[in-house]
Each structure stands twice: as C-alpha cells, then as structure tokens.
Amino acid sequence: MQHFADALRAAVAAAAEVGIDTVRLEAPRDEKQGDLAVPCFLLAKARGIPPPAMAAKLAAAMAPGGPQAVAEVTASAAGPYLNFRIARPALAQAVFAEIAAAGARYGGSSEGAGKRIVIDFSSPNIAKPMHVGHIRSTILGAALTRIFSHLGYTTVGINHIGDWGAQFGGLVVAIRRWRGEVDLEREPVRGLLDLYQRSKAAVESDPAFHEEAVAAYRELESGREGPVRETWRWVTAVSMRGFEATYKRLGIEHDLVRGESYYENLLEPTIQRIVAAGITEISEGALIVQLSTVDKGLKETPCLLRQTNGTTLYATRDLAAMFQRFEEFGFERCLYVVGSEQRLHFRQLKAVLKRLELPWEPRVEHVDFGLLLGPGRVKLASRKGAVLVLDDLIDEVVDEARRIIQEKNPDLAQADQVAEAVGIGAIVFNDLKRERVKDVVFDKSEILSFEGETGPYLQYTHARLASILRKAAANGEGTAEPDWSVLENAGPILMRLARLGDVVRGAAVRAEPSEISNYLLALARDLNSWYVENRVLGEAPGVTGARLALIRASKSVLGNGLGLLGIRPLEAM
Ligand code: ARG
C-alpha cells in the first residue's frame, strides 16, 4: 500500500509541478469513487488554478499512457478531488505480500519506539471484589496496552490498587476477630468481602470495635513494622491472589502493581512541593488548592490535599503518583482508564498540574467510560448476591457458551477451552464494541449470539476461514498460480485489509479500542457476503488459488485485530 501511495504522491507532485509535501492522500468519502483521493485545494492554490480545473488537468496527465501515468493506477476527477483506483490484481498482490511478511506484526509499526505510555488500569480495591467499573477498566486498559505496544511504544501498565485508607483499620480488626470463620484459601475474594462487610457494620454499630479500628489505622499509618502491618500485608496478598486468577483467565498482565500505599513516603514531599509553588491555602483547617483560575467550572470544588485531622486523600496519593511516574518514565502520555464517575477527580488533578504550570499537563488523560448495565439498563447484579463478582460473571457466560457449542457442534475437540475463549470473547467484545463513554448493556444471550455484532461472531468468522484453509490443504488445493483477475469484486475487502494500520493508529490516538471493533465487524461482514457469492474450493486451480490467498490474508488480519482486543481467534468452534 505504501508503495502505491509513494508512487502516486510523486507522480501527482510531478504533474502539478509542486513539492511532494503539498500532496496529501486520503480515503475518498465514498469507496465507490476510488481507493485513494488527493484533495486539490493546496495544489490549485500553489499553481493559481481553480481546484476542479486542477483535478481535471491532473486526471488527464495521469491517465494510462499519459506522461505521469502510474502503472496499475487510474485517475479520475470528481469536483476538486483527484481519485485513484488501483488495479485489483496489483492491489491484491501488494496487500497479501505485506500481510504475509509482517505476520503477527501486521497493522503495527515502530512509530512509538523509545516513547513510553503509562496506562493505569483495572485498579481494584483490596478486600473487595472488582465491581463492574473495574471490569470495564481491566478490559479497556488491557486492549489499549496491546494497541500501543503494537505501534512500538513501551507501555507501562500500572495496577493502582486501593490498598490504603481508614477502612483498613476496621478490616485488620475484623481479621483479628473472625479470621477463623471464613475460608480464605479456597475463596479469597468472597471470604475477604465477607470480613470487609462485617467490619463496616461493626465500625458503625460497635463503639469498641470502632476505637480499635481507629487505633489500628493509626498504627498502620505510622509505618511501624508489627502485627498490624503484617495483617495488612497479608490481606493485600490474599486479595491480589484472587485478582491475579482473574487476570490470568483474561490473559492480562500489569507491568507494575503499585497500590496507593506505594506512595506513602512521597506524600509529604508532594505536599511540600505544591506548598513551595505558592498555590495552596488553608481553608477551615484543611490544605487546599483553588482551581478556578485555570478551570472556571471548578470554582466550588478546590483540590483537597490534607484534611483538618491531618490525613491525606485519594487525590494527594494520585498527585504523588503522577509526579513519580513522570520522573521515572518521562511518559509521552499517561492514561487513567477509570469510569466517568471520577471525571471531577481527574479534572481537579489536571487543574493542579496547570496551576503548577507543568508543561506535561496535557499528556495526562482521563480515559473515561460509561457504565456496564444489566438488560433493561438496570444496575448489574449477580444471581446470588448483591455484589457482582467478575469471576462469577465469566463463569456464567462460559457455561452458556459451552451449552451453545455442545448443541451446535457436539464433536468439537477441546470444547472446554473453546467455551472459555468464546465466553471471554463475548464479554470483552461487548465492552469494546461501542465508543467507551457510552454505557454498555450486558445481556448474556445477546453477547453470545453467533450472528450479531459480537465477539463470537468474529471468532466464528475466523474459524470459518481456518476451516476453508484446512480443507484446501487436505485436498492439495491452492498450489497453482493464482488468477488474480477473479478478485476484481474484492476491492473493498482488499482496501480494508490494507487499512488495519491506520485503524490501529486512530484507536491509539483517541484511546478508543472500539475503532478496531468496528473495523473487524465491517471486515467480517464483507467477507461473509463475498464468500456466499464466491466459491473458494473446487474451482479452476487459478481461481481457487486467488480466493484462498484472500482467505489466508483475511484470517491473518482478523486474528491480529482480535488479538489486540484481547479475544482469542479460534481455529474451530
Ligand atoms: N481504586 C480506585 C477505585 O476503585 C480506582 C483507581 C484508579 N486509578 C487512579 N490512579 N486513581 O475507584
């Protein structure tokens, strides 16, 4: 593709007698007009001709046989645009060669080499199960990590777990008292949730418990080693073990697990730095930063750095973490994949950076997202209890996937693994298929449908392509010289295959994995309808050869795209 683009730009520049930098290439608004378009405004201006006349003149110059003609490419003018159509046989061969050569790297680049992207994602709270917000953050954040890596960036995925705060006093006391009553080895997530909920209730209703909890938190904050710190450390480890089992299941890893507690020793220096900048005030005994000079909307909501009673806050810890991250990683971008309900929080943090006049403030971005709701747009709850545990949700969907597969394909090998991949694929795609700020509805039967806009639909399409290739190999088909002319009707698919790289880049720029989801849905739709009209196997060897090449390249592109989203491409299902 690059090859055509370069040749075209050079030829247009020569025909228009302008420098090559004046020549822009874009996708035509309507794919029927062509594969690539050159808007003629700049060129016309440079030559002092009206744009439509410029387009017509260039189209004539670049016609086959014209002085600037590019072999395999024809030009036509439509208004102020010069449109190009690449001959299908040439396009097919170039695109297939590129896909085969790049393999799993296709759609990627090295444009991010040497640059770091910090991605704060998942970040659940110790002793509590991941709630639906964490689920979305986990899935979105992991997809973004893969997307940026694909473009050559060094990604630093950080799990900013909630492991600090007064609630840990109560939890330590609850463990002291009731540890023997729950089975934390077998059920770490549920067992800890149980203790956590009991501790919350006891803090409210039992003054002695409350006092003990306050003392425990004070002890924890003192930084001293001893039984309290040991218990806190232990509870963190138990909780993390639970989260890690889920991450493993989803194929997700963080580079660093740095909870809020990690920044404890940096809180005082952070506060001092902000005080030294002269932007703090004392208001009713609390240390605050007024933000209205940099963001009018924050007039009533200054950033609180230290409460009257001396304790720091979530925001203080986040500021300490931001400074630390910038120092350690010198990030190009620092993304916080956190639900929209924390918009105010991140807006405040950015406003503090602005007040500090830190030039890297624009690199800090809140990558926000909407809610995950149940059918009928109600709050999503689990079957058994009020709190939805992510593992239960995955189990439920995987069980249903297993049932569907058993029904559709009872002889499938490794049906359990396939069901796991399909169930997870359904959940992941559902989270990534729409613009992230939109709410997502979780409807088990809908997300598992093999025909809708779903993960399983894409996995099924991939498996279908795999099956065609397997059959071809078994029949010894596809070894003849391809007759590329039969791909005349596959232009839109070829162009789409050629564009994966642009789509991945766009998804990274806007931190929007749904752009890849939409691309994959469109590709699958094109392929499935092309396939109905174009028999692949058992045709004349040249015909079968060309069509198989299209199938092979499409499978590869579909597989890469699914992989970026965190969905396993399946060979059979
Ligand atoms: N633990 C927080 C919560 O559950 C999310 C943390 C997001 N990351 C951050 N750096 N604030 O709400």
pLDDT digits (tens, 9 = 90+) for 433-459: 999 999 999 999 999 999 999 999 999
Tell me the CA–centroid distance for residue 218 and ligand 1, in Å: 23
Task: Say yes or no: CB of residue 120 within 6 Å of ligand 1.
Answer: yes
pLDDT tens by residue, 164-208: 988 999 999 999 999 889 888 888 778 888 999 999 999 999 999
Read off the DSSP letter of residue 26: B
**With a 6 A CB cut-off, is 338 part of the ligand 1 pocket?**
yes
Tell me the pLDDT tens digit for each residue of 196-216: 999 999 999 999 999 999 999
Residue whose tokens read 């492991």: 163
Q: 3-state class of 381 per DSSP?
A: coil
> Taking 80 as the threshold, does the pLDDT of residue 148 lie above it?
yes
Q: What proportion of the chain, given as a percentage, has pLDDT over 70?
A: 99
| Domain pair 2-86 / 394-565, same fold | no
Q: What's the CATH class of domain 394-565? A: mainly alpha
Give me the phi and psi of 81, to 5 degrees please: -110, 145
Please, are residues 43 and 55 in contact by the beta-carbon 8 Å criterion? no
Average per-residue pLDDT in the chain?
93
Check residue 381 and give its pLDDT: 65
CA atoms within 13 A on the CB side of 107: 30
**Where residue 345 falls among pLDDT bands split at 50, 70, 90?**
very high
Question: In the structure encoding, which two tokens stand for residue 356, read together?
Answer: 């500090």
| Percentage above 90 pLDDT, the chain | 81
> Are the C-beta atoms of 171 and 127 separated by less than 8 Å?
yes
Residue 226 C-beta-side C-alpha neighbours within 13 Å: 11
Q: Tell me the three state secondary structure of residue 75.
A: strand
Q: For the purposes of burial, counting CB atoms within 10 Å of the CB of 74, is it exposed (0-12), middle (13-18) or buried (19 or more)?
A: middle
What is the pLDDT at residue 132? 81
Order of strands across the sheet that contains 73-78:
36-39, 81-86, 73-78
User: What is the reported pLDDT for 33?
Assistant: 84
Ligand 1 atom 8: residue of nearest CA: 160
Query: Using an 8 Å Cβ cutoff, are 320 and 277 in contact?
Result: no
Domain ranges across the chain: 2-86, 167-250, 394-565
Residue 320 clears pLDDT 80, i.e. is over it: yes
Rounded Cα distance between 215 and 170, Å, is 9
Question: Is pLDDT of 515 > 80?
Answer: yes
CATH 3.30.70.20 fits 2-86, yes or no: no
**Count of positions (residues) in the chain:** 573
Supply the pLDDT for residue 387: 64
Q: What confidence category does residue 513 fall into, taking pLDDT thresholds of 50, 70 and 90? A: very high
Distance 120 CA to ligand 1 centre (A): 8
Q: How far apart are CA 424 and CA 128, in angstroms?
A: 22
pLDDT tens-place string over residues 80-123: 899 999 999 999 999 999 999 999 999 999 999 999 999 999 99
Q: Is the CB of 162 under 6 A from ligand 1?
A: yes
Distance separating the N- and C-terminal Cα atoms of the chain: 33
pLDDT at site 76:
86
- pLDDT tens figures, 71-80: 888 888 888 8
DSSP calls for 388-422: PPHHHHHHHHHHHHHHHHHHH-TT-TTHHHHHHHH
Q: What is the CA(133)–ligand 1 centre distance, in A?
A: 10
pLDDT at 386 over 70: no
Residue 289 CA to residue 302 CA, distance in Å, equals 6
Please tell me the predicted confidence (pLDDT) of residue 558. Answer: 98
pLDDT at 384: 52
Q: 239-292, pLDDT tens digit by residue?
A: 998 899 899 999 999 999 999 999 999 999 999 999 999 999 999 999 999 999
- With residue 74 as reference, give the H or E element that holds it: strand 73-78
> How does residue 424 score in pLDDT terms, banded at 50, 70 and 90?
very high
Angle separating helix axes 188-205 and 227-250, nearest 10 degrees: 140
pTM: 0.94
Q: What is the mean pLDDT of residues 386-415?
A: 90
Beta-carbon count within 10 A of 377 CB? 10
* Mean pLDDT, residues 490-511: 96
Cβ of 336 below 6 Å from ligand 1: yes
Distance from Cα 160 to the centre of ligand 1, integer Å: 6
Is any atom of ligand 1 closer than 6 Å to the C-beta of 318? Answer: yes
Average pLDDT over residues 63-77: 82
Q: What is the pLDDT of residues 361-383, one digit of tens each?
A: 999 999 999 998 888 877 776 55
Residue owning the nearest CA to atom 6 of ligand 1? 123
How far, in Å, from the CA of 348 to the mean position of ligand 1? 15
Residue whose Cα lies nearest atom 12 of ligand 1: it is: 124
